[in-house]
Amino acid sequence: MKEQIIMRILIVSKCPTHPTNAGNRRWILAQTEILRELGNEIYFLYIDERPLRSSPADSIIDYEATKKYWRDHFFYLRISKVEKFYFNVMKQVNMHFRGGYQSCDVNYPHRLTGLVNNLNTRYKFDICIVNYYYLTKLFKQISIPKKVLFTHDCIAYKDLAVGEKTMTIDANNEAKALQRSPYIFALQDVEMHYFEILSPLSKVYNIYSKYIYHPSMILGNHNMVFLSGSNDYNINGLRWFLKEIFTLIKQHFTDAQCIVGGAICTKIVNDNLPDGVKLIGYVDSPKLLYDMGDVAINPTYQGTGLKIKTFEAISYDKVTMVHPHSMKGVFDKDHSPLYSSANPQEWLDFLIKLWETKEIFIEDIKKSNKEYMKKMNEFIVSEYKRFLND
């Protein structure tokens, strides 16, 4: 086996790592921890691009928390309001003249190239990882040997994929960004195969995101839990579940509860919610919510990218029930411990079997959860090792 060489790695991102309260922040931090555990030295360049009408307090919290974590391995680039205004104007111009689609370079920071080159002169980086397609212009202008795009998502034609107008790019621009990147990190297998087609000369790795397994006891109640941010796709999914499935469950299990946590609560608090729905709002730790029931749901039926709540629920050792959309691209789908259906009656039938057989059925699923998370995490680490040794 090829001997592991210790690398000095620069991660470049407009997304901070802390507070780690969003999926993309979690992915970057998980990647950092794996690469560090493999013996590498990791540095982080945070590009602070604030909306023109943002809360300064939130941005300051992000900056201070991220800087505190990275300490002397932290670098910073602040986007001025003038440049941010320019980005916004150019996005609208691009969309007008490109049939609703942007250029992949429309919000590339003008000072980024010079800063990275200056840092590289001092630190002699072996690897540069940029987050999202819109930073790949950097690769044309730096001499760091290994250049990696961490995609986070498939962006081209996202408006068509989710069925609504959103800022996106076309396949030509996604291909342009990908083909600048000798190495590509994809978060799921479906996207990996797509990227291999758009950029056939790049080496693509399927890294998912590593999760810590949290074993849990069987509670024996009739609660279902859902922890989510305020993303529109998650809101739509929860509303579908409550209308089509939960009302049916309540007819059979009158004590059933759907306990919802996270920022999504602020978006549905004024809905005409069915009896048995409990909104608990923000939680300090996901474990607080997952400890309230044996069953976790992910009813999201729209969107792209990694199915965060699907993996998270398994990692907290829950019986996990999802809409089929929320299985797309998951690790080793055919052997995952997930129940999937778009049919409300099938959800109820599964819960009847689960709750009436109780410990026997649930214990089997928990064993599968543990085995699945171990297998997935081992695969993820092996992908990073394969990349480092390439």
Structure tokens at 85: 């205004």
Contacts of residue 278, defined as CB under 8 A and 6 or more positions apart, other chains included, come to 257, 258, 259, 260
Distances (CA, A) of 65 to 25, 27, 58, 59, 225: 12, 17, 11, 10, 29
Task: Over range 45-56, report the average pLDDT.
Answer: 86
Compare 336 and 305 and report the one with higher pLDDT: 336
Alpha carbon distance 17, 215 (integer Å): 26
Task: Over range 312-329, report the average pLDDT.
Answer: 91
pLDDT at position 158, please? Answer: 77
Provide the whole-model pTM: 0.88
The DSSP code sequence of 237-290 is HHHHIIIIIIHHHHHH-TT-EEEEESTHHHHHTTS-PPTTEEEEE--SSHHHHH
Describe the crossing of helices 308-315 and 359-388 by its angle, rounded to 10 degrees: 120
Structure confidence at residue 4 as a pLDDT band (50, 70, 90): low
First to last CA, the chain: 12
Task: Over range 153-159, report the average pLDDT.
Answer: 83
Q: What is the DSSP letter of 137?
A: G
pLDDT at position 317, please? Answer: 97
The structural domains of the chain, ordered by start, are 8-207 (3.40.50.11930), 223-376 (3.40.50.2000)
Residue 188 contacts residue 168 (beta carbons within 8 Å): no
Alpha carbon distance 258, 241 (integer Å): 10
Task: Over range 170-174, report the average pLDDT.
Answer: 93
Q: pLDDT for 101-118, tens place per residue?
A: 888 999 999 999 999 999
